[in-house]
């Protein structure tokens, strides 16, 4: 576990979020704001993508989202100039050390209670199985943000990125064995202990395990947000393909079978909505549900974007569904969901 104490954050070590009455809300619950991180060049040199294109897409997402809710952008002090050039004046900035820009994975996961309080479930970040060293600043990011916001944090001895789970806010969590039980993350853990830590940390009661995420995935080892997402309690969007030669055909079919045979924490069967896997370049499932908006990574090619965007508009009729170029994000192994982390509103 990282040395959180040197950040000065208040650490809660004598209890758990669930024992203290906290839980992790669903993404569609109202947000106070969204936390983002502007990527440094460190981990992008091997992808062959100009850094300006990467940062432009990060900024496009932030600037669009800022029209619907406040955005807090974490950035290195040496990137202040580029931030002024790219970001709307409406976006708040916080200067902290960074290794990368995937705030869903390294940023704080906020849990809330019914008394108007927020805490952070401080899972351990290890650079996606130590694939991209150094990652020490990202491992401390959640604690440093908590210190800045004066929010206490529960240190949790479980390696978990935010993209590895999806929740319905009513006690159900879906994840993949490929990621959370991977030897590069929790090799000494057993499945029962992982479930116990998840439930103690996020207020969940039922864990549904898919076997795998989509291929190819050399970075995240099967993050669940690439293959499915909760749309509402009892309703799950699932990527599918009709191409039997696609290695994802069997993966998606197995995931659908698992969902159809499962029940959520409240005993409901799942309504599974197919979202066609139409692009090798962009994962439309990597959308983000903001206050009144759904931001979707797109290719800009009608034949690949049209059907997924139509389905998302049907699923989220009360939200403005907006497509944003996600090609550089896709080349880097992610999407809009991967670069956003919501801060749930408290009463």
pLDDT tens profile 13-31: 999 999 999 999 999 999 9
**Would you list the domain boundaries of the chain?**
4-334
Q: Is pLDDT above 90 for 347? A: no
Diameter over CA atoms, the chain: 54
Q: C-alpha 228: how far from its chain's center?
A: 12
Give the mean model confidence (pLDDT) for residues 166-191: 95
Task: Fill in the DSSP letter of residue 338.
Answer: G
Distance CA 318, CA 83 (A): 32
| Cβ atoms of 109 and 23 closer than 8 Å | no
Distance of CA 23 to the CA centre of its chain: 16
Least confidently predicted of 48-57, 310-319, 331-340: 48-57
Reported as a single tens digit per residue, the pLDDT across 84-140 is 999 999 999 999 999 999 999 999 999 999 999 999 999 999 999 999 999 999 999
Q: What are phi and psi of 328, to 5 degrees?
A: -70, -40
* Whether the Cβ atoms of residue 110 and residue 72 lie closer than 8 Å to each other: no
Whether the Cβ atoms of residue 110 and residue 344 lie closer than 8 Å to each other: yes
**H-type helices in 87-245, by residue range?**
103-106, 127-130, 136-139, 141-149, 177-180, 183-186, 191-202
**338 classed as catalytic:** yes
- Determine contact, residues 194/180, Cβ cutoff 8 Å: yes
Number of neighbours of residue 111 by Cβ within 10 angstroms: 23
Please tell me the distance from the alpha carbon of residue 244 to that of residue 249, in angstroms, as a whole number. 6
Q: What is the pLDDT of residues 244-277, one digit of tens each?
A: 999 999 999 999 999 999 999 999 999 999 999 9
Q: What's this model's pTM, rounded to 2 decimal places?
A: 0.97
Strands 166-167, 153-159: pairing kind = unpaired
pLDDT above 80 for 289: yes
Contacts with 240 (C-beta within 8 Å, 6 or more apart), sequence order: 252, 253, 256, 274, 275, 276, 277
User: Is residue 46 predicted with pLDDT exceeding 80?
Assistant: no
Mean pLDDT of 172-176: 98
Q: 124 in helix, strand or coil?
A: strand
Q: Is residue 53 reached through a cis peptide bond, with omega within 30 degrees of 0 on the bond before it?
A: no
Instruction: Give bridge partners of residue 119 from the DSSP assignment.
Output: 111
Range 4-334 classified under CATH 3.90.1150.10: no
Q: At CA 34, angle to CA 144 and CA 307, rounded to 5?
A: 135
What is the predicted pLDDT for the residue at 28? 98
DSSP 40: P
61, exposed or middle or buried, with CB in 10 Å at 0-12, 13-18, 19+?
Answer: buried
* Listed residue (280, 169, 168, 176) closest to 225, CA to CA: 176
- Give every CB contact of residue 9 below 8 A, 6+ residues apart in sequence: 143, 144, 146, 147, 152, 153
């Amino acid at each position: 576990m990282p040395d959180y104490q040197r950040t000065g954050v208040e650490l809660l070590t004598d209890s758990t979020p669930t024992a203290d009455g906290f839980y992790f809300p669903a993404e569609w619950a109202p947000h106070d704001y969204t936390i983002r991180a502007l990527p440094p060049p460190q981990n992008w040199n091997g992808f062959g993508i100009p850094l300006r294109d990467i940062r432009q897409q990060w900024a496009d997402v932030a600037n669009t989202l800022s029209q619907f809710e406040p955005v807090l952008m974490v950035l290195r002090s040496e990137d202040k100039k580029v931030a002024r050039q790219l970001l709307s004046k409406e976006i708040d900035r916080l200067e902290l050390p960074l290794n990368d820009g995937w705030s869903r994975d390294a940023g704080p996961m906020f849990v809330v209670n019914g008394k108007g309080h927020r805490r952070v479930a401080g899972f351990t970040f290890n650079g996606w199985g130590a694939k991209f060293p150094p990652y020490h600043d990202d491992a401390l990011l959640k604690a440093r943000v908590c210190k800045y916001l004066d929010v206490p944090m529960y240190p949790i001895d479980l390696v978990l990125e935010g993209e590895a789970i999806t929740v319905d806010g009513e006690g159900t969590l879906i994840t993949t064995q490929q990621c959370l039980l991977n030897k590069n993350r929790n090799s000494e853990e057993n499945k029962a202990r992982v479930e116990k830590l998840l439930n103690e940390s996020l207020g969940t009661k039922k864990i549904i395990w898919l076997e795998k995420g989509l291929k190819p995935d050399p970075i995240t080892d099967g993050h669940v947000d690439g293959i499915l997402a909760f749309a509402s309690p009892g309703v799950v969007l699932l990527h599918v393909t009709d191409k039997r030669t696609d290695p994802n055909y069997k993966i998606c079919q197995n995931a659908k079978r698992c969902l159809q045979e499962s029940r959520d924490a409240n005993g409901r069967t799942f309504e599974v909505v197919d979202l066609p896997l139409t692009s090798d370049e962009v994962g439309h499932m990597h959308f983000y549900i903001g206050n009144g908006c759904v931001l979707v990574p797109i290719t800009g090619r009608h034949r690949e974007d049209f059907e997924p965007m139509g389905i998302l508009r049907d699923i989220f009729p009360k939200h403005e569904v907006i497509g944003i170029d996600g090609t550089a994000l896709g080349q880097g192994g992610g999407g809009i969901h991967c670069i956003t982390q919501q801060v749930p509103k408290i009463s």
